[in-house]
Amino acid sequence: MAEDLSIVKGTKAEQYHSLIPQIKALLTGEPDLIANLANITAALKEQFSWLWVGFYLVKNDELVLAPFQGPVACTRIKKGRGVCGAAWQQEQTLIVPDVEKFPGHIACSSLSKSEIVVPIFHQNIVIAILDVDSINFNEFDETDKQYLEEIVSLIVW
Ligand code: SME
């Protein structure tokens, strides 16, 4: 496909409906994991203009920073720590409407007000997480959960 992303306005669902086929096209035929993670973060950031979009990979029982778009971030997160470590430990997507109210939240950027973290499974084990941060409170909801879970399911590991 052409490398230019087509950006649409509209409801969240309309934006995801436009974006997901483009992400599929970007991933098709490309076996390199880092390249694919990088393009997914870029596509999400470009469509939604969120503060931070990125992956952490499970390595030696820690989350280690992987491709992302946005401000610099902490490089390692232990299981159960912060929203990322909690989503990993609980093996479920966590939606945090106000990060300051989440016990143990790790503030990589003081601009971040709300967050969603999606665990990524391979053979029933969490091997990575997708983390998205917004400068707005209450940015993320069940629609984001549904579509972000669909997007991470497209990744071939
Ligand atoms: N806020 C996350 C840390 C990662 S950064 O937001 C990029 C957390 O509490 O796990």
Q: What are phi and psi of 47, to 5 degrees?
A: -70, -45
Span from the CA of 87 to the centroid of ligand 1 (angstroms): 11
Span from the CA of 27 to the centroid of ligand 1 (angstroms): 26
pLDDT digits (tens, 9 = 90+) for 112-130: 999 999 999 999 999 999 9
Question: What kind of fold does domain 12-153 have according to CATH?
Answer: Beta-Lactamase (3.30.450)
Residue 26 has pLDDT above 70, yes or no: yes
Mean pLDDT of the chain: 96
Q: What's the confidence (pLDDT) of residue 3?
A: 74
Report DSSP state, residue 7: P
Protein residue closest via CA to atom 3 of ligand 1: 106
CA separation for the pair 64, 56 (Å, rounded): 5
> Which ligand 1 atom sits closest to the C-alpha of 106?
9
Q: What's the confidence (pLDDT) of residue 73?
A: 96
Other beta carbons within 10 Å of 112:
27
CB 69 within 8 A of CB 41: yes
**Residue ranges per structural domain of the chain:** 12-153
Strand partners of residue 63: 58, 77
Q: What's the confidence (pLDDT) of residue 104?
A: 93
pLDDT digits (tens, 9 = 90+) for 79-114: 999 999 999 999 999 999 999 999 999 998 999 999
Banded pLDDT at 2 (limits 50, 70, 90)? low
